[in-house]
Amino acid sequence: MTTNFDTKNPPKQKLIDSCVHCGFCLSTCPSYRVIGKEMDSPRGRIYLMDAINKGEATIDEATSPHFDSCLGCLACVTTCPSGVQYDKLIAATRPQVERNQPRNLSDRLIRTLIFNLFPYPNRLRALLPSLWLYQKSGIQQVIRNSKILDKVSPRLAAMESILPQVTPESLQDKLPTIIPAQGETRYRVGVILGCVQRLFFSSVNEATVRVLTANGCEVIIPKSQGCCAALPAHQGQEIQAQQLARQMIDSFADTNVDAIIINAAGCGHTLKEYGHILEDDPEYRTKAQEFADQVKDVQEFLSSIKLTTELSPLSDQELKIVYQDACHLLHGQKISLQPRQLLRKIPGITLKEPIDAALCCGSAGIYNMLQPEVANELGQQKVTNLINTGADIIASPNPGCALQITKHLRFKDKPPMVIHPVELLDYSIRGVKLKLP
Ligand code: SF4
Ligand code: SF4
């Protein structure tokens, strides 16, 4: 058999063969639901992988767009009755596409910009004063109203459309390296700050630290930590992902923590995959798996320990909250009960469930910048389903989802607030009452 994949970790034929082509996964696949073509479904992509591996097709300009159109949401992994490991298949295929299919100029430019900017918080932070001026001066509104970016580059327009509000808090990390537990120290935990999270959602990191310390955790935040590698890993940028993963592992070496806590779903999934990302690295292989074994989503961790804090109502009235399942928590880490259990502990809360809770919102890392049309359709569907629950608050456990949902709520009448679940817990612990719009 002559394969048309290169020799570096191609998708395994055994995994490809585990698909029995039943098609159960099609209806839960967001790219298939929007694009409607077999080749943009999990089954279609597995057919393509099979054909390429058997030398019947090549990685080329006809086949690679079908791999690019996959959001990597992993809904198909949850749905598949045959246990097909599509996550492993697509993770092996993406680097093959990156190595073997040259991208056109506009694709190269936008990807170069993204991969050289987003995984480096210090570079991103250097841009913040200009972005602040752009927003405060009113230029942003003029640009948005004119829709000029849509004409020049829909991808640049998509990037601009999710730009969060730059605040003075974005300009510096305020959290110290060691934060003592309140009362008796029950655990010593590390906290990962993320890239987008630390710059644009520093309030989520601060809330995470307050909730942890209030519940007896000493928190360690190594200053040398960088990006978790989720962004390049999801896009098949193997070498960059491995470098960032090694840096993260080194940052937490000798911290002697019981767990490493992350509050962003996409980052958490990648951090738990370090064993695979560095499996070919003899120096880091074992360290990577040990690191991954310590990683816990903050909600996963909090629901595994006994909360010692009192919780108070967030409003004088009954508050309706809808929890938004982030794909990399629900499908990637199988975490769905824990966030709901935690939210239900807050007095005066009614938890609502949306239609199609397991369907991706279209954010998918940088998918909403690279494939804006499909992402917009999914974003609209998600927001409609969340609003239809009648909730006052959307609790979103991932910064990418929060940005995507906020973008699509922009023109809605009386949109619900979008808040990370850990912020709600923090408010409840501190007795803060929410002011609803
Ligand atoms: S991936 Fe699973 S659900 Fe989808 S066609 Fe193959 S066997 Fe069926
Ligand atoms: S990962 Fe998501 S988008 Fe990709 S094939 Fe599976 S269900 Fe479809």
- Residue 168's pLDDT is 81
User: Whole-angstrom Cα distance, residue 340 to residue 421?
Assistant: 9
**Mutual angle of helices 86-100 and 42-53, in 10-degree steps:** 60
* Nearest-ligand number for the alpha carbon of 28: 2
Rounded distance from Cα 347 to ligand 2 centre (Å):
37
57 and 141 part of one domain: no
Single out the residue in 100, 116, 138 at which a domain terminates: 100
- Residue 174's pLDDT is 84
Single out the residue in 170, 191, 212 at which a domain terminates: 170
Domain count, the chain: 4
- Is residue 351 situated within a structural domain? yes
Contact 429, 309 (CB under 8 A): yes
Residue of 16, 35, 70 with the most ligand 2 atoms within 8 Å of its CB, for mutation: 70
Q: What is the CATH number of the domain that holds 63?
A: 1.10.1060.10
- Give residues with Cβ within 8 angstroms of 219, minimum separation 6: 178, 179, 181, 189, 190, 191, 209, 212, 213
Model pTM score = 0.94
287 and 347 part of one domain: no
Q: What is the CATH number of the domain that holds 424?
A: 3.40.50
Q: What are phi and psi of 25, to 5 degrees?
A: -75, -15
The residue with tokens 């989520």 is 204
- Is residue 396 situated within a structural domain? yes
**What is the 8-class DSSP label of residue 66?**
H
For residue 72, the ligand 2 atom closest to its alpha carbon is 1
Structural domain for 357, as ranges = 319-430
User: Whole-angstrom Cα distance, residue 240 to residue 238?
Assistant: 6
Ligand 1 neighbours (beta carbon < 6 A) = 19-25, 42-43, 76, 79-80, 82, 84, 86
Cβ count near 26 (within 10 Å): 18
Single out the residue in 39, 68, 100 at which a domain terminates: 100
- Is residue 8 situated within a structural domain? no
β-strands 295-297, 393-395 pairing: unpaired
User: Whole-angstrom Cα distance, residue 93 to residue 49?
Assistant: 8
- Residue 435's pLDDT is 84
User: Which residue's C-alpha comes closest to atom 3 of ligand 1?
Assistant: 80
403 and 336 part of one domain: yes
Number of residues written out for the chain: 437
Q: How many CA atoms lie within 13 A of 86 on its CB side?
A: 31
User: Which residue's C-alpha comes closest to atom 8 of ligand 1?
Assistant: 22
Q: Measured from the CB, is residue 86 less than 6 Å from ligand 2? A: yes
* Nearest-ligand number for the alpha carbon of 79: 1
User: Which residue's C-alpha comes closest to atom 2 of ligand 1?
Assistant: 80
Rg (CA), the chain: 21
User: Whole-angstrom Cα distance, residue 29 to residue 204?
Assistant: 30
232 and 144 part of one domain: no
User: Whole-angstrom Cα distance, residue 79 to residue 303?
Assistant: 25
Q: Measured from the CB, is residue 364 less than 6 Å from ligand 2? A: no
User: Which residue's C-alpha comes closest to atom 7 of ligand 1?
Assistant: 19
Distance from the Cα of residue 199 to its chain's centroid: 15
* Nearest-ligand number for the alpha carbon of 330: 2
- Residue 5's pLDDT is 96
64 and 27 part of one domain: yes
- Is residue 3 situated within a structural domain? no
| Dihedral of alpha carbons 250, 252, 255, 259, sign | negative
Low-confidence residues of the chain: pLDDT under 50: none
35 and 152 part of one domain: no
Q: In what order do the strands lie in the sheet with 295-297?
A: 178-179, 217-220, 187-191, 259-262, 295-297
- Is residue 160 situated within a structural domain? yes
323 and 380 part of one domain: yes
The stretches of 13-85 forming alpha helices (DSSP H) are 13-17, 30-35, 42-53, 64-68, 75-79
pLDDT digits (tens, 9 = 90+) for 366-424: 999 999 999 999 999 999 999 999 999 999 999 999 999 999 999 898 899 999 999 99
Rounded distance from Cα 76 to ligand 1 centre (Å):
8
292 and 361 part of one domain: no
- Is residue 6 situated within a structural domain? no
Which amino acid, residue 281? D
Q: Is 349 exposed, middle or buried (0-12, 13-18, 19+ CB in 10 A)?
A: buried
Residue of 76, 78, 269, 360 with the most ligand 2 atoms within 8 Å of its CB, for mutation: 76
86 and 129 part of one domain: no
- Give residues with Cβ within 8 angstroms of 65, minimum separation 6: none
- Is residue 314 situated within a structural domain? no
- Is residue 310 situated within a structural domain? no
Question: How would you label 74-97 residue by residue, b for 16+ Cβ within 10 Å and e otherwise?
Answer: bbbbbbbeeebbbbebbbbbbbbb
163 and 187 part of one domain: no
Q: How many CA atoms lie within 13 A of 355 on its CB side?
A: 7
196 and 238 part of one domain: yes
Which three-class secondary structure state does DSSP give residue 283?
A: coil
**CA nearest 315: which of 427, 183, 179?**
427
96 and 147 part of one domain: no
